[in-house]
Structure 1
Amino acid sequence: MNRFNRFVSLNFAAFLTLSAAGAFAASGEAAGAPKGLPKDDAAKHGTLRDVSSQPAVNSGACFFAADKGKSLVQGSCDVRALQVAAKEGQVYAQNQLGLVSALVVAQGTDIRQARSWFEKAARHGFAPAQVNLAVTYMNGWGVSQNYGAALNWLNAAAKQGHPSAYANLGILYMNGWGVRRDYAEAFKDLEIAANAGDAGAQSNLGYLYDGGLGVVQNYSAAARWYQLAAENGNALGQNNLADLYLRGQGIRQSYPQAFYWFQKSAQQGHTGARIKLGFLLMNGLGTAKDSSAAYAWILSASQAGDHRGDDYLIELQRDLDQPHLAQATQQARSLERNAAQRNVLVSLVP
């Protein structure tokens, strides 16, 4: 069996990630593209949010929303002053301290303390903190995992029209966590969030169109939503858009475009994208053949716990001499370290 056919038979089943994971995506086949290779998962885990009623850039904010709320940026702030304000009951300060406790290494990250600050603000009706508190329950950060509690806090934030609440409610309904699985309800919630610009919701909405879940299957619509998510920097959207380009479903088949978007996703640490990127590199599809780079990308996925490309490593080891193998192995370690650092911020965007 040649390398291309082995790639065809590789089963990319669902798995969990901290920043937008999910269930299976529908498989599809198209002439000239690998067959039987389903896309990776749609989003399962929620993400911390900090979209508040405060101005987009607040001089007292340690973290603020940038790029129309698509990213979380650390600002210069007086943590002690923030602590005083939080103890006085200011909900914005309490939510900010939750983010500081979760993210600022210099302050000594403490997710339990973060959850405590989120809860204080959430109980006073502050929607961003309600979403953040729900996410801690969804992921079991600083507290026992509790989807029922997450559902209650997300419903509270959704009543205030918070887009991220709808995005995470969609995740719960997609997976049947704390509720009965209901793709139609997931679609409704995700559509609200996606239209508000939530990249994770855009990716998940594309997934529902892709698989015909809660809506009539429509690869063109899936491609449109994946494209929006990908352009907004969502790693899963980038991976699934690349899959559509690989297959030519809902979009014209293109190995160069598949390579481009797999690379974008792989650079953010998406292990499925790393394996597929490695496959394209080892076969010179959409890019020049590069066995060393292919080995580095696939090995980095394996080192992160995703062993679906391990058979390719054995083949590539036969193609590389020892100096190139050692260099690729070192590169893989570097890729994994960078991904670990990046994923913390990626999973905590507003």
Structure 2
Amino acid sequence: MILRSLSFLLILFLLLGGIYCSALPEVGRDIKAAARSGDTSAQVALARMYFEGTFGGHDPVMSARWLLAAVDQGDPDAMNILGRFYLSGVGVERDEARGLALLREAADMNQPQAQAYMAYAYGEGLGVERDSVEFLRWTRRAAENGDARSRYNLAVLYLTGSLVSQDVPAGRALLELSADQGFTEAQVALGELMIRNVDQPSDLVEACKWFAIARTKGHPRAEKRLHQIVGFMTQAEMDEAGRRANAWLQANEAGR
């Protein structure tokens, strides 16, 4: 398989952490009130707060309860997260069938992370029979809906000609999208593609930029590639690559 999922607890933290709200007491009161009134976005946000211990301690059970309230109203984001709770037994009794059913329902509603999980499930045979056609179908759907990991996975398929006809420009375009979303593996792969002179002339400055960005996240291959590439660059080129990398990092930090 192209890329295995992170551990479930890390995924759950990232999913819940993506729905950010302030931990100030008055904000917590407002969110609780909105959640009790039936606001699904508030219910998911409140689930995050209980999961992260905003109210004094990590409480996955209360987190699951508020996710269930949102699921009962048909919220696909809540289905995606609660499905993973059931798969890993976080806050609820482990129930793989229930978890997969929730993820499939969310995926059918175009929730991109759930679609990415369905691709993973069909690729690995987790709760379903391995099926390369379904793996590709769900990978495509998740990529079309903006999932960075799926865009990277689909890019690799296009670049290698696995399951699809080889299409380097399409693979490059997907890598660019995924890298700009901050997916580190895509950043390194894009840099490597840019120095290979495959479908376009090599671009050492842009490749160096992506290696430098990925290195800030501790990616070992990025560090290696960066050391290799600078030996072929002028000081002016290295300065420009550094300027571009810093601009990208600052823009993405500001956008968080």
Shared fold, TM over 0.5? yes
Out of 31, 46, 51, the position equivalent to 2:15 is 46
Out of 214, 223, 238, the position equivalent to 2:127 is 214
Between the aligned partners of 1:185 and 1:250, the Cα distance in structure 2 is 30
Report what 2:139 is aligned to: 226
Report SS of the residue matched to 2:166: coil
Q: How does 1:151-190 map to 2 (within 5 A)?
A: 151-179=64-92, 183-190=96-103
- Tell me how large the CA RMSD over aligned residues is: 2.8
Report if aligned partners of 1:173, 1:182 keep a CA contact under 8 Å in 2: yes
Out of 206, 209, 212, the position equivalent to 1:293 is 206
Note closer, same or farther for the CA distance 1:287–1:152 as it changes in structure 2 (3 Å cut).
farther
Between the aligned partners of 1:235 and 1:291, the Cα distance in structure 2 is 24
By percentage of residues, which structure has more helix?
2
Note closer, same or farther for the CA distance 1:177–1:250 as it changes in structure 2 (3 Å cut).
farther
1:129 is aligned with what amino acid?
A: A
Report what 2:23 is aligned to: 111
Per-residue deviation at 1:182? 5.3
Per-residue deviation at 1:161? 2.1
Report SS of the residue matched to 2:249: helix
Note closer, same or farther for the CA distance 1:123–1:334 as it changes in structure 2 (3 Å cut).
same
Between the aligned partners of 1:181 and 1:243, the Cα distance in structure 2 is 33
Per-residue deviation at 1:298? 1.4
Per-residue deviation at 1:240? 2.1
Post-superposition CA distance 1:60-109 (Å, at most 9, x none)? xxxxxxxxxxxxxxxxxxxxxxxxxxxxxxxxxxxxxxx8xx3xxxxxxx
Report if aligned partners of 1:46, 1:139 keep a CA contact under 8 Å in 2: no
Between the aligned partners of 1:157 and 1:166, the Cα distance in structure 2 is 8
Between the aligned partners of 2:94 and 2:231, the Cα distance in structure 1 is 47
Report what 1:280 is aligned to: 193
Between the aligned partners of 1:318 and 1:228, the Cα distance in structure 2 is 41
Between the aligned partners of 1:243 and 1:180, the Cα distance in structure 2 is 37
Report what 1:78 is aligned to: none
Post-superposition CA distance 1:183-234 (Å, at most 9, x none)? 5433211110111121222222222222222212223222222222222222
Between the aligned partners of 1:314 and 1:255, the Cα distance in structure 2 is 26
Aligned identity (percent) is: 30
Report if aligned partners of 1:269, 1:340 keep a CA contact under 8 Å in 2: no
Between the aligned partners of 2:175 and 2:16, the Cα distance in structure 1 is 22
Per-residue deviation at 1:239? 1.7
Note closer, same or farther for the CA distance 1:118–1:192 as it changes in structure 2 (3 Å cut).
same
Report if aligned partners of 1:46, 1:171 keep a CA contact under 8 Å in 2: no
Q: How does 1:121-132 map to 2 (within 5 A)?
A: 121-132=34-45
Per-residue deviation at 1:328? 0.5
Q: How does 1:230-269 map to 2 (within 5 A)?
A: 230-269=143-182
Report if aligned partners of 1:219, 1:249 keep a CA contact under 8 Å in 2: no
Report what 1:201 is aligned to: 114
- 2:253 corresponds to 1:340: yes
Between the aligned partners of 2:172 and 2:74, the Cα distance in structure 1 is 38
- Higher RCO by CA contacts (8 Å cutoff, separation 6 or greater): 1
Note closer, same or farther for the CA distance 1:49–1:325 as it changes in structure 2 (3 Å cut).
closer
Report what 2:241 is aligned to: 328
Note closer, same or farther for the CA distance 1:115–1:284 as it changes in structure 2 (3 Å cut).
farther
Report if aligned partners of 1:183, 1:213 keep a CA contact under 8 Å in 2: no
Unaligned runs of 5+ in 2: none
Between the aligned partners of 2:170 and 2:5, the Cα distance in structure 1 is 18
Note closer, same or farther for the CA distance 1:141–1:225 as it changes in structure 2 (3 Å cut).
farther
The two structures have a TM-score, normalised by structure 1, of 0.63
Between the aligned partners of 1:266 and 1:159, the Cα distance in structure 2 is 35
Note closer, same or farther for the CA distance 1:301–1:212 as it changes in structure 2 (3 Å cut).
same
Q: Which range is displaced more, 204-213 or 313-322?
A: 204-213
1:257 is aligned with what amino acid?
A: A
Between the aligned partners of 2:65 and 2:134, the Cα distance in structure 1 is 31
